[in-house]
Structure 1
Amino acid sequence: MMIQNGEKNTISNIGFRIVKDFKRADSKIIEGFKGIATPNIGDVMGRFRAMDYRIKTINKPGIHIVGNAFTVRTHPSDNLLVHKAMDLAKPGDIIVIDACGDMGNAILGELMCHYAKVKQIAGYIVDGPIRDLQAIAEMGFPVFARGGTPRGPYKEGPGEINTTISCGNVPVNPGDIIVADDDGIVVIPIEDANNVLEKAKAVQQKEAGIIQAIYNGTWDRSWVDETLMQKECEIID
């Protein structure tokens, strides 16, 4: 169901449909996640909502992007709906593509990255392969994918834009916050964003304190032996 002007409207053409817009997170929340590493964010979400490790950056080390998810579900080997998504996405959005993890045909390449860069799209997350890896890496546009192939895509459809998808075994809704870096990708439900942000900041501050304690020799390690004792671990001299 889609709600417009307080009225419910049925979207009936399941599998081949486009929702043009959705609610995005406040810009302050997006800014707040910048600089927070994905492991810290994942830890405060029960160690869930991290995408499959095989979806990884093709960029040089040091990548870190944050943005609202602009979701695309595309038939494996086809990118017609990805092209439409590029036209509809707003500056700062991250286009997240569910291509079913199929590795047969590239879902996007260099030209689509140049266009996305001009549109100020923040990056692509692709549950599938891409092509032109070296060219994309050299231009510095953020792309995360399962790998590469020279085999190009078709442009026939079907597919969906801005519906719930699965990417890297994680559900993604339009407007969810995506944070992606060298470690991988986490998905933060938009309704939980404030809570997750505060908890992730606290973890970040705690780890900064631990690093300082390591170097000044005050890191309390007693918890290790205490945990082993609680679990009745046998220690032999």
Structure 2
Amino acid sequence: MFVIKPMPDQIPDDLVTLLEQVETATVGHVLHSGFVDRHIRAVLPNKRVAGTAVTIRIPHADSALLHWLTAHVRPGDIVLVDRCGDDRHACWGGVITNCMKMAGVKAGVVDGPATDFSEFTRVDMPMWCRGPSAITTKLLGSEGAVNVPISVGGQVVHPGDAILCDESGVIVLDPLQARAVAEKAIGMQENELVLLERLRKGEKLPDISGARAMVDAKLAP
């Protein structure tokens, strides 16, 4: 059985631009939830992308619905794939990579393996997944769902969520809260530049952070 829901509204372009200034690790200083399992890793180095979540759930060895989705995705989408625990079959390979790139998709996030890694590099398609596999899915036409809530790396993803991906991981954000999170993180990154300049001028990190005072207080007789 196939379940197909409408494509979600896309997050505004200015929010995408704002998010792409944010390091996921900086958000890690602010939030404790929304982070996809760290074993879902970037295939390409030094990539940071943000966009709108388009969700798909395809269990076991059937990737017919992923093929179908390539005709419906839009520029600015990030496709997140719930593999229902299948860590054996690679659902996303070279042809899917090219189709998604041609459609303007900004990245893929697969809770499972992928294949044809050289194509990610050749067409510059950012991908986050659980590693490579030579065993691929087939066109079985059995079941799946598009634009329903899914689970990716232990994180619930709703269609239309704001997604931020970089070399440190993947974050899922409520689009109504994403702007505030991004602005706070950017402020923290700007403060870090000030901190680094103070260190270059000779100050010591524990004096700036207060760690020296904390430790010395515990060591005091």
- TM score, norm. by length of structure 2: 0.91
Name 1:153's counterpart in structure 2.
Answer: 137
Name 2:198's counterpart in structure 1.
Answer: 213
Q: CA deviation at 1:200?
A: 1.1
Q: Distance in 1 between matches of 2:115 and 2:143?
A: 21
Could you tell me whether the CA contact under 8 Å between 2:55 and 2:146 is conserved in 1?
yes
Name 1:3's counterpart in structure 2.
Answer: none
Q: Percent identity?
A: 25
Distance 1:90 1:220, change over 3 A: same
Name 2:86's counterpart in structure 1.
Answer: 102
Distance 1:136 1:235, change over 3 A: farther
AA paired with 1:169?
G
Could you tell me whether the CA contact under 8 Å between 1:24 and 1:175 is conserved in 2?
yes
Aligned counterpart for 2:107 among listed residues 104, 123, 128: 123
Q: Distance in 2 between matches of 1:95 and 1:67?
A: 9
* Superposed CA RMSD: 2.0
- Is residue 83 from structure 1 mapped to residue 67 from structure 2 by the alignment? yes
Q: CA deviation at 1:68?
A: 0.6
Q: Secondary structure at the match of 1:28?
A: helix
Name 2:9's counterpart in structure 1.
Answer: 23
- Is residue 136 from structure 1 mapped to residue 123 from structure 2 by the alignment? no
- Is residue 37 from structure 1 mapped to residue 23 from structure 2 by the alignment? yes
Q: Distance in 1 between matches of 2:3 and 2:160?
A: 18
Q: Secondary structure at the match of 2:69?
A: helix
- TM score, norm. by length of structure 1: 0.85
Task: State which drifts further: 188-197 or 210-219.
Answer: 210-219
- Is residue 172 from structure 1 mapped to residue 157 from structure 2 by the alignment? yes
AA paired with 2:211?
V
Q: Which has the higher contact order (CA 8 A, sep 6+)?
A: 2
Q: Secondary structure at the match of 2:66?
A: helix
Distance 1:229 1:139, change over 3 A: same
Q: CA deviation at 1:134?
A: 2.3
Count of residue correspondences: 218
Q: Which runs of 5+ in 1 are unaligned?
A: 1-14
Q: Distance in 1 between matches of 2:161 and 2:47?
A: 20
Q: Secondary structure at the match of 2:176?
A: helix
- Is residue 56 from structure 1 mapped to residue 38 from structure 2 by the alignment? no
